[in-house]
Amino acid sequence: MVPNIFSAGLDITEFYQKKPEETDAFWRTLQDVFLRLYGSKLVTIAAISGHSPAGGCLLAMACDYRVMATGKYTIGLNETLLGIIAPFWFIETMKNTIGHRETEKSLQLGKLYSPEQAENIGLVDQICPPDDVLGCARKEMVKWLKIPDHARILTKQLMRNELINNLSSKRKEDIYNFTSFVQKDSIQRSLGLYLESLKKKKS
């Protein structure tokens, strides 16, 4: 685990000033990761040890249960703040997690929630002191593992298959949409400025 960061989201340098075939391959890999994690037969618990913006939030939402560290961390789908948009499967995953209305506000505002706010709206299931996040996740795992596997897995599939099938049937179209969007000059400029702002914040 990296201290203070669960995931900084997608590595923007993977789709900034890249060739179309490179961004295609990057997005295909992300689809694979999501489909495998969201559709996993295993119990998956995210121990969110720190910041979890955008793609990081997606990965956490793809799990069965989320424990987040208390502290000055944030989680959410902040894509609009970067001048980009969350694709339909990010949106559907968030709707399945926190409901339609909260998702609508959250996405349009590019909202990043504190751990307490995230717990209040159900984006995370539990908050714990940073040094106990893994311990809390392990305790929760014990509960989930007591449920008969076949019943838990079939229930999970009933809840998740609609989104999995929808994305699986639209993968090519979704890759095309991503690459044609991020290759636009205006989006490349926004991404460049955003990367610059991250570097400036650091210095």
Ligand X SMILES: CCCCCCC/C=C/C(=O)SCCNC(=O)CCNC(=O)[C@H](O)C(C)(C)COP(=O)(O)OP(=O)(O)OC[C@H]1O[C@@H](n2cnc3c(N)ncnc32)[C@H](O)[C@@H]1OP(=O)(O)O
Catalytic residues: 10, 55, 78-79
Interaction pattern, residues 59-98, with ligand X; x per rule: CB under 6 A: -------------------xx--x-xx-x-----------
Nearer to ligand X (CB atom), residue 149 or residue 196 = 196
Amino acid at 163: L
CB contact set of 129 (below 8 Å; sequence gap of 6+): 69, 70
Nearer to ligand X (CB atom), residue 75 or residue 136 = 75
| Separation CA 91–CA 77 (nearest Å) | 9
Task: Write out the two tokens for 92.
Answer: 């559907």
CB of 90 to ligand X, least distance (A): 7
150 touching ligand X, by CB under 6 A: no
**Could you tell me how far CA 196 lies from the centroid of its own chain?**
23
Nearer to ligand X (CB atom), residue 54 or residue 63 = 54
Distances (CA, A) of 119 to 68, 116, 129: 9, 5, 14
Task: Return the closest-CA partner of residue 47 out of 156, 118, 131.
Answer: 131
Minimal CB distance to ligand X: which residue?
9
Q: Which residues bind ligand X (CB under 6 A)?
A: 4-5, 8-13, 51, 53-55, 78-79, 82, 84-85, 87, 177-178, 181, 195, 198-199, 201-202
